[in-house]
Amino acid sequence: MGKGTVTTGIGVLIVGLIAAIAGGLALQDAARTAGVAIGIVLIVVGAIMAAVGARRSRVAAPAVRAASGSMGMGSDMAQMVATIASLPEEQRRTMLRARLEEFAKLDDASRKSAMRMMLSAGLDLPEASYRNIAKTRTQLVMTFSEGTQMKLMQTHIAVLMELPEAKRMKEMNVTKSILMELPEDKRTMMMGMMERLGMHMPM
C-alpha cells in the first residue's frame, strides 16, 4: 500500500505541474489563474500522498522483517533444543541453566512466549531426547529460589495448557517418570508446588 501511494502521489504531482505550466501559458487571465490554481492544488495533494506513502513503507518494512525473523526464530529454536538434548549432561546443564535464568528475568508475556517456543520445540523431539531436557530442567529448577521456581513453573504450566493434547500428554508422561526417580522429599516438594499451581499429577 505504501509504494502504491507514493507512485500515485508522484503521478498527481506531475499532473499538477503540467496543469500549472499550461495555466501559466493561457492567453486569458481567468484561464491562466484557474489553471495555475488547479495545478498548485494538485502539486500539494501529490506531495502529501507521496510523503504519506513513503512513511507507510518505512513503517511496514520493520514489520515484514520482524515477521520473517519470527519464522526464522522457530527453526533456530528447534535446532537449539535438539542440540541441547544431544549434549553431555554437564554441558546440557550449563546451557539450560543459562536459558532458565534468562527466562526468569523476562516480563510475564515475554517469558511465556520464549518458553512456549522452547517447550513446543522440545516436545517435537523423540521422547527419549526430550526426556534428557526435561530431566535436567526439573533438576535445575529445584536449585533456584522458591520465588523463581514458582515463576518458571507457573509459566511452564500455563504454556503447557495451551499446547495440543498430544504434546500435553507427552509432557505429562515424561514428567511423571522423572518425578518417580526423584528422592521422596524432592518429589513431594515438586508435586506440592505443581498442585498449588493447579496441575495435579496422579502417580
Angle at 61 between CA 63 and CA 58, to 5 degrees: 120
Q: What is the grid cell recorded at 53?
A: 506513502
pLDDT at 44 over 90: no
Report the C-alpha gap between 68 and 59 in whole angstroms.
15
pLDDT, tens digit, 9 for 90 and up, residues 76-118 = 888 999 999 999 999 999 999 999 999 999 999 999 999 999 9
What is the helix (H) or strand (E) element at residue 153, kind and residue range? helix 146-162
Structural contact between residues 95 and 86, judged by C-beta atoms closer than 8 angstroms: no
Which is higher by pLDDT, 92 or 9? 92
Answering whether pTM is above 0.85, one says: no
pLDDT at 18 over 60: no
